Chains A and B, each alone.
Chain A
Amino acid sequence: MSNLTKILIVLLTVSAIFLCGIVVTYIANANNYKEKYTKLSSDRAALEQEKESLNNQLKEKIQQKDDLEKSLSSQVASLKTKEDDLQTKITGIEREKAELLERVNSWASITKDFQATTDKQTQLLSTAQEDVKQLKADQIKLSKELEQTSAAVVEKNALIDAAEAEKRRLIEEKADLQNRLDKIVQTGGNVPAAGAPVTQEKGKAMPSQPANETINLKAQISEVDAKNSLATISIGSADGVKEGMKFHVTRSDEFICDVLIVNVDTEKAVGVLELVQQPPKVGDNASTNL
């Protein structure tokens, strides 16, 4: 065997091994086109099916859209008719609103005038009420003065009656003495018996003291029966309250009414309300002297 043959054998072997390695590497890393084709075919079939279903859905949706469009068109037509009717009604209502606004404005001015008049009347009323209160207070004061004056007049009348009785007695006594003197003068010194005057001598009338002023009792209203005009005070016979006494009810500096006692218990007394200026309340002050 020549050397050239040996070299060729070696080269052939090396190149065969090298090429075989390249082929094996290439085949091992080659793509499996059949598998890819199968996969792509199945994907395509699925997509075709999906496309078909989507087309069907699209047709259904188009049909539904057409139906909906028809119904909406009919609704739009009916709503337009209603809108026209409502527009007509709105026009009428706006006209009525304008008329009502005019009326409201006129009523507002009338109400404003009425309010001003009412305010003036209220002011006049409050002033008149103040005057009435003042007059009532004056009337109460005058009534009290009148009562005191009446009592003084009664006392003076009693004094006058007593003085007239004394005067009549003295006149009768004078007449009797005159008769006796005349008889003495006529009989020449015999003294006749002294006659008794017809009018008997009375005790001297003295002005009475007001009972309440000396007592000066103070109490509080404990119960009020406005229905029967009765009130109960917090003191009774234990403190010197008697039937017929009059208590003056006040609240701070304001006169409320008088209470004429009609029933007396040990610790309380009940009286009738008189000269009521305001309804009395529980806790108001009651005293015999103002």
Chain B
Amino acid sequence: MSPEAQIRSTKPEAMSNLYTIILAVAFGAVLATAAFVAVKCYFDYNTLFTIP
């Protein structure tokens, strides 16, 4: 790719897709954990944030 073309495109582009995937996996793990905790709280206590 020529330097002119790099200057012309304004959309940021990841430096490496590998690390993006790693970050996505970490985000997904955190999200899945949050969902599991929420489901567990809801089924056990019928609420998510209040203390019964």
Chain B residue nearest to A16 (CB atoms) is: B26
Give Cα distance in the complex from A251 to B25, angstroms.
Answer: 142
Give Cα distance in the complex from A24 to B52, angstroms.
Answer: 22
Question: How far in angstroms is the closest Cβ of chain A from B21?
Answer: 10
Whether the pair B36, A12 counts as a contact (CB closer than 8 A) is no
Q: A1-B19, A9-B19, A20-B33 are in contact. Are A34 and B52 (CB under 8 A)?
A: yes
**Do most interface residues of chain A lie in helix, strand or loop, or is the interface mixed?**
helix
Whether the pair B44, A23 counts as a contact (CB closer than 8 A) is no
Q: A1-B15, A13-B23 are in contact. Are A20 and B29 (CB under 8 A)?
A: yes
Q: A27-B37, A34-B45, A35-B44 are in contact. Are A20 and B19 (CB under 8 A)?
A: no
Give Cα distance in the complex from A26 to B50, angstroms.
Answer: 20
Which of A1, A16, A32, A35 contacts B29, CB < 8 Å?
A16
Which of B15, B25, B40 contacts A13, CB < 8 Å?
B25
Does A227 reach chain B (CB closer than 8 Å)? no
Question: CB-CB < 8 A to A20: which residues of B?
Answer: 29-30, 32-33
Does B22 reach chain A (CB closer than 8 Å)? yes
Q: A23-B37, A27-B36, A27-B37 are in contact. Are A9 and B29 (CB under 8 A)?
A: no
Chain A residue nearest to B36 (CB atoms) is: A24
Question: CB-CB < 8 A to B16: which residues of A?
Answer: 1, 6
Binding site for A on B (CB under 8 A): 15-16, 19, 22-23, 25-26, 29-30, 32-33, 36-37, 40, 44-45, 52
